[in-house]
Structure 1
Amino acid sequence: MTDRKGPLARFTILDASRVRAGPTAIRTFADLGARVIKLEIPPGAPGGDDMIGGRDHNRADYENLHRNKESLTLNMKTPEGLEILRQLVRQADVFIENWRPDVKHRLGVGPEELRAINPRLVYASISGFGQSGPYARWPGFDSIAQGMGGLMSVTGKPGEGPMRVGIPIADLCSGHFCAQAIMAALLEREVTGEGQWVQTSLLEAQIAMLDFQAAQWLIDRKVPQASGNEHPLTVPTGVFATRDGFINIAAIGQTMWKRLCEALGAPQLVQEPGFGSDPERVENRDRVNAAVGELLRTRGTQEWTERLIEAGVPCGPIYSVDRMFDDPQVRHIGIARPMHHPELGEVEVVGLPMQFSRHPRDAGPLEPAPEQGAQTDAILSSLGWGATDIARLRARHVV
């Protein structure tokens, strides 16, 4: 693998996670220069990964999720596999898994066992519902967490029933929260010299993402309801039809409301009875939206966008994914990163959504996701295993 540099280049991570949440967490480290060794079940060994996101299900997704990693096939259910893992742990900074909570303990690779080998190790776990409790052994899946975490109850149009969000948000957010926890543990280790066990779950990550909707219940004892494309607490904020498409508008508060009315050529709406404050406009939501919507249908999306931005009103067009990537601002920020793939040729993947002044994200090439076990021989050789031993391990599906 190409020698990459970055702010996390000094760290080595063992990635035993599967599907999406764990790999999402570790992709951040890989993009920031850390050495990531992806531990995969060897061909012929029971329990191979046939889940969504695997190589055979969606190659585009797999490449986007597992770039910049190395792959080591390893059967941790065998004595030799466990010995290889212990060798790797002695040199690692982080170990991450997202198995069901009991699996790591049955395998003998829980945080106590691995941190006994390397006390500096940060052990990270992502589960569906937590490491303990009545649902701890339930299998975790994104849409299940969206439902149990309250998100589906506030998504979609009023009266149409629960609606899943169009991205695996519980998976993604649990991965990002886990990455933050790992970063914090690595920083704390610089003071104490010791690692620790960090945990999150799809359920708690999803609940945390409810944010102000959760606060409505916890503080005001108000149960949030679905409000479709509109904001539940401020009007007019949402999607409006134009002459040739749609536009998103966020006229939050009195100042934005006045600017919107003036840009629409209808300053009299500010004085309309029932339109004078956010609470009043929420109470008269349908009337406000009807008045604003009638005016917006007289011009096209681009013209309204230019007018409203000039007036200082937050707004924007609504893109399909292809049009989004073609937007000049999206092209300017460079979030789509080029990558050369030996089979697919020149492709693009979604880059890391953060910038560092000393480590530009486009400074070096991205490495495509590894083929299964592509670095197995090299990694084992670095640990002292000879060619004959490696062949023996491979024949017994240890690697």
Structure 2
Amino acid sequence: MNTKDATGPLKGLRVLDLTRVLAGPTCTQMLGDLGAEVIKIERPGAGDDTRGFAPPTMPGTGESAYFIGVNRNKRSVTLDIAAPEGQAIAKQLLADCDILVENFKVGALARYGLGYEQLHAEFPSLVYCSITGFGQTGPYAPRPGYDSLIQAMGGVMSLTGEPDGLPQKVGVPVADVFAGLYGCIGILAALRHRDRTGQGQHIDIGMLDTHVAWLANQGMNYLSTGENPPRLGNQHPNIVPYQVFPTADGYIVLSIGNDPTFKRFCENFDVAHLLEDPRFATNAARVENRQLVTDTLTPVLKQHPTAWWVEQLEALKIGCGPINTLKEVFADPHVQARGVVVEMPHASGTPVKIIANPVRLSETPADYRIAPPMLGEHTEEILQDLLGISTAEMDALRAKGIV
């Protein structure tokens, strides 16, 4: 198979991708962006569930925008791994693979002879990553995992939203994305170990685990006090003022991270007298008096429009920013200068726009060599080139619904 155009640091590694939807595909797309050859196994006739997550579809392709977003740098092979013939082909592919990533329910792949313990005996150097809702052990292990319920069970919804409103989930599926990225980190560490010892291992990623892990300062706030942090809307639990304020024509995020910055703000915007008030003098005091600080600064910020505040505050090196819509995000000159959107050719004949990989490597940058594939687009190429399956054998497999 032609992989000469791969340029990333993982060039030469091969991944068998048994994932679907978001957490697993996020992980394998990152591996593919960094140069690994990713073979995505999909159900014949159906494929990854996200192929049906539409509208919207990418114009001219018939593919869902959701699928396009996390499946570049992969080749699609249709294969029924529930059938013995499909399992045999999967094992043949694994003979030349370094990594297997899967997000089936706990124990599901073992029914097909593709569980970790079964494969580790045959492929001892294989790095095997499982991404599930609740991990491989514990009382919740058999449960299915979905982003919104993980956000709920993992505590972030209790922290998100207005104090007197409903708990809110984050507007993008962060539980899925973080699980995929933690999975990728685990794989990279396991590859380092394998390269030194020749030994593969199992990486057990539970979405609830990763969700709790990124509770960060709020998790630590609970552990240090034993008290549930309250919902604060757009305010910061440990820093004040660090929040959304209304302006004359909209809103702005004001991020004052320390006392010298607060002093600079007060001295430049006619509220220097606040520095003499002990309730404003230190960040700890401002946290204790957050409502007073908010009520005092709100009329100050409402005196001028957002653009004026951004210009003035940036000149003073005070953290701030407008609250952009996605249209404004993708039109932002800095976002455009950073090349955050990439256009790739697609098998449909219509180019697709994708969001670029944010990892900037000076010597081995992410590359964009394979557009998100059509269902089964590379089945013959891979099975014939890698496994030597003949055209007649392919026809027979197709007739049985194996591919």
TM range (shorter): over 0.9
Q: Give a deviation string over 1:331-381, Cα, whole Å, max 9, x none.
A: 1111111222343723321111111111344xx544221111111111111
Q: Give a deviation string over 1:141-194, Cα, whole Å, max 9, x none.
A: 000000000000000010213111101000000000000000000011111111
2: distance between equivalents of 1:360 and 1:109?
Answer: 33
The partner residue of 2:108 within 103, 110, 119 is 103
1: distance between equivalents of 2:48 and 2:144?
Answer: 15
CA contact (8 A) 2:162 2:232 kept: yes
Secondary structure in structure 2 of the residue aligned to 1:85 = helix
Pairs within 5 Å for 1:150-229 = 150-229=155-234
2: distance between equivalents of 1:214 and 1:184?
Answer: 25
Secondary structure in structure 2 of the residue aligned to 1:66 = coil
Unmatched runs of 5 consecutive residues or more in structure 2: 57-63
CA contact (8 A) 2:347 2:373 kept: no
CA contact (8 A) 1:264 1:296 kept: no
Please name the residue that 2:10 is paired with.
Answer: 8
What displacement does 1:54 show? 4.0
2: distance between equivalents of 1:267 and 1:317?
Answer: 25
Secondary structure in structure 1 of the residue aligned to 2:233 = coil
Pairs within 5 Å for 1:34-183 = 34-43=36-45, 48=46, 51-52=49-50, 54=52, 58=56, 59-183=64-188
Please name the residue that 1:285 is paired with.
Answer: 290
1: distance between equivalents of 2:90 and 2:9?
Answer: 26
Secondary structure in structure 2 of the residue aligned to 1:166 = coil
Greater relative contact order (Cα < 8 A, sep 6+): 2
TM-score, normalised with respect to structure 2: 0.94
Please name the residue that 1:392 is paired with.
Answer: 396
What displacement does 1:55 show? 6.4
Q: Give a deviation string over 1:286-322, Cα, whole Å, max 9, x none.
A: 2211221111111111111111111121111110001
CA contact (8 A) 1:68 1:366 kept: yes
The partner residue of 2:20 within 1, 18, 21 is 18
Unmatched runs of 5 consecutive residues or more in structure 1: none
2: distance between equivalents of 1:278 and 1:222?
Answer: 21
2: distance between equivalents of 1:57 and 1:178?
Answer: 29
CA contact (8 A) 1:72 1:373 kept: yes
Kindly tell me: are residues 365 and 109 of structure 1, through their superposed partners in 2, closer, same or farther at Cα, counting changes over 3 Å? closer
- The answer to whether the aligner puts 1:310 opposite 2:315 as a matched pair is yes
Secondary structure in structure 2 of the residue aligned to 1:123 = strand
Kindly tell me: are residues 166 and 104 of structure 1, through their superposed partners in 2, closer, same or farther at Cα, counting changes over 3 Å? same
Please name the residue that 2:382 is paired with.
Answer: 379
Please name the residue that 1:33 is paired with.
Answer: 35
2: distance between equivalents of 1:327 and 1:297?
Answer: 24
CA contact (8 A) 1:20 1:171 kept: yes
Greater alpha carbon shift after TM alignment, 155-164 vs 144-153: 155-164
Kindly tell me: are residues 150 and 290 of structure 1, through their superposed partners in 2, closer, same or farther at Cα, counting changes over 3 Å? same
What displacement does 1:71 show? 0.6
Tell me the number of residue pairs that the alignment of Structure 1 and Structure 2 aligns. Answer: 393
Pairs within 5 Å for 1:201-280 = 201-280=206-285
2: distance between equivalents of 1:389 and 1:249?
Answer: 65
Q: Give a deviation string over 1:37-57, Cα, whole Å, max 9, x none.
A: 0001112xxxx4574464656
2: distance between equivalents of 1:307 and 1:246?
Answer: 15
Please name the residue that 2:60 is paired with.
Answer: none
CA contact (8 A) 2:7 2:365 kept: no
Q: Give a deviation string over 1:50-69, Cα, whole Å, max 9, x none.
A: 74464656511211210111
Q: Which amino acid aligns with 1:275?
A: F
CA contact (8 A) 1:20 1:53 kept: no
Kindly tell me: are residues 375 and 125 of structure 1, through their superposed partners in 2, closer, same or farther at Cα, counting changes over 3 Å? same
Q: Which amino acid aligns with 1:379?
A: I
Q: Give a deviation string over 1:70-103, Cα, whole Å, max 9, x none.
A: 0111111112111111111110000011011020
Kindly tell me: are residues 359 and 278 of structure 1, through their superposed partners in 2, closer, same or farther at Cα, counting changes over 3 Å? same
Kindly tell me: are residues 287 and 144 of structure 1, through their superposed partners in 2, closer, same or farther at Cα, counting changes over 3 Å? same
CA contact (8 A) 1:89 1:117 kept: no
Secondary structure in structure 1 of the residue aligned to 2:214 = helix
Q: Which amino acid aligns with 2:383?
A: L
Kindly tell me: are residues 287 and 344 of structure 1, through their superposed partners in 2, closer, same or farther at Cα, counting changes over 3 Å? farther
Secondary structure in structure 1 of the residue aligned to 2:342 = strand
Q: Which amino acid aligns with 2:296?
A: A
Secondary structure in structure 2 of the residue aligned to 1:176 = helix
Q: Which amino acid aligns with 2:22?
A: R
Kindly tell me: are residues 360 and 124 of structure 1, through their superposed partners in 2, closer, same or farther at Cα, counting changes over 3 Å? closer
2: distance between equivalents of 1:342 and 1:259?
Answer: 56
Kindly tell me: are residues 243 and 50 of structure 1, through their superposed partners in 2, closer, same or farther at Cα, counting changes over 3 Å? same
2: distance between equivalents of 1:214 and 1:110?
Answer: 34
Q: Which amino acid aligns with 2:155?
A: G
CA contact (8 A) 2:107 2:115 kept: no
| Matched-pair identity in % | 38
What displacement does 1:246 show? 1.1
Q: Which amino acid aligns with 1:370?
A: P
CA contact (8 A) 1:86 1:117 kept: no
